[in-house]
Amino acid sequence: MLNEFREFIARGNVMDLAVGVIIGGAFGLIVKSLTDDVIMPIIGAVTGGGFDFSDYFIPLSASVTAPTLAAAREQGAVLAYGNFLTVAVNFLILAWIIFLMIKGVNNLRRKEAETPAAPEAPPQDIQLLTEIRDLLAKR
């Protein structure tokens, strides 16, 4: 069983997947920081709501009087639309970047398909038979 596990881990697809997950996690953190630290403060400043867009909420209970989302959640039910918008913008940025990456890969594949491939040399035994045929034809 240990050998089967070792074979499974050593497969190229599993290793590629592991690398992709690790890079994807790091990339997700970069996009989250871009959203939280750059884009959402600009949107918050433009809309006049300040710099913390994720604290936008609508109280669903009369007992909710807190100014921040964390404190409001402790007091009762809230509709945290600012946090949802932050996550939605994060998703759109990530989807756009993935789209651009796939588009770039597709362009590279198209260019490779357009360039004519060099003709492959025939196998060595075929070359040898061709030489023998040519020698016999000369006699």
In the chain, which ranges are E strands? 58-59, 78-79
Residue 58 backbone phi and psi in degrees, to 5: -120, 120
Please write the tens of the pLDDT for every residue from 2-46: 888 777 767 667 777 888 888 888 888 888 888 778 887 787 778
Q: Name the amino acid, one letter, at 51.
A: F
CATH node for 2-138: 1.10.1200.120
Q: CA angle, corner 102, sides to 99 and 107, nearest 5?
A: 125
pTM of the predicted structure, to 2 decimals: 0.55
Q: Which pLDDT tens digit goes with each residue over 51-105?
A: 567 778 889 888 888 888 889 989 989 998 888 887 888 788 888 888 888 898 8
